[in-house]
Amino acid sequence: MRALELRHPKPIERSPLIVVDRPLPRPGPGQVLVHVLACGACHTDLHLAEGDLPAIRVPVILGHQIVGTILEAGDGTAGWKPGDRIGIPWLHHTDGSCDACRRGEENLCHEARFTGWHEDGGFAEATLAEAEFGIHLPQEIEPERAAPLLCSGIIGYRSLRKADLHQGERLGLMGFGASAHLALQIARYWGCPVAVFTRSPGHRALALDLGAEWAGGIGEEAPWPLDRAILFAPVGALVPDALRKLRPGGTLAVNAIHMTPIPEMPYAVLHGERTLRSVANATRQDGVELLDLAAKIPLRSVVQVYSLEAGNQALADLKHSRLEAAAVIVP
């Protein structure tokens, strides 16, 4: 099978992903072999390719927003059979027995393994997945439209929840891309006015087209104080600015697995019972709830499709904000 392999992290402009031929893997107990139809590319893939996140293993195949069909199911994969459509998200495996897992916070499991980091992902023609962590997808869903839902959509949904967003509250989104453009649609479905802060005129236009009431730069002020906000840009220097836009008692959720340092800031920026919290990974239940919402709304994924050979270009376009929203690799 053809795959994009990361052997040595380096700037994406130096093409760290290499097209290789690999033997087709075979599923073990609890695993399914999946023919990849589409795989989204996100900032986590970029952080891994460039070494911002440490490599757990190399070589490794990146990609964790995978839509595919099952080619072969190993022993102990009840509920799955060849031909089934499956979604494979970031969370690959947890121990199921630690304190976090028992609390229902499997996203915080210390023994968690992640697709495209600990285990090979979906920038390939085929991949292996743990059956119990796969998500059932209807056959009629378009693979390239479904792929961004499996990380960008799920983590955007979790960010809305961790921001404590309630129906009708005023929401601010800082940074606008694959995850934010889906979170915006969910917030609007919940009746929440949304303000989008982004430097890209194209992203501002898309945000307004998707229902935002206002769009401007981070240095500008929305028409109203924000009840809740989500920071999608992995730029720590934006945290004080985002907090200043919140009303007392508001919440800022930071949706980033890697971020530049947060600068020293006056306590007054946080005072007034404002909450600052991070968002870490997602649970299987988040995926179930997000896909149910996606069908009800329905969510509109705005995507740009790339071939496997153009994987470095997809991540470069993501890095330099040349995408309208989401990048999807179709092997």
d(CA 66, CA 39): 4
Which residues of the chain have a pLDDT value below 50? Answer: none
3-state SS assignment for residue 209:
helix
Domains of the chain: 2-150+300-330 (3.90.180.10), 154-279 (3.40.50.720)
Q: Give the model's pLDDT for residue 157.
A: 98
> How far is residue 328's CA from residue 305's CA, in Å, rounded to a whole number?
5
Tokens of residue 134, six digits: 């796969």
Q: What is the pLDDT of residue 92?
A: 97
Task: Give pLDDT tens digits for 141-199.
Answer: 899 999 999 999 999 999 999 999 999 999 999 999 999 999 999 999 999 999 999 99
Residue 162 Cα distances to 126, 188, 210, 219, 222, angstroms: 34, 17, 22, 24, 22
Check residue 138 and give its pLDDT. 83
pLDDT tens for each residue of 215-245: 999 999 999 999 999 999 999 999 999 999 9
Which neighbouring-strand residues pair with 325?
none
Alpha helices (runs of H) in the chain, residue ranges in sequence order: 43-50, 99-102, 143-146, 152-162, 178-189, 201-209, 238-244, 267-270, 284-296, 311-319
Gap between the Cα atoms of 143 and 122, Å rounded: 13
pLDDT confidence of residue 96: 95
Query: Residues near 146 by Cβ (< 8 Å), separated by ≥ 6?
Result: 38, 67, 87, 137, 301
> Which pLDDT value is given to residue 140?
79
Residue 141 has a pLDDT of 84
Identify the pLDDT of residue 294.
Answer: 94
Instruction: Give Cα 83 to chain centroid, integer Å.
Output: 26
Global pTM? 0.94
Return the DSSP state at 300.
-
**Residue 179, pLDDT score:** 96
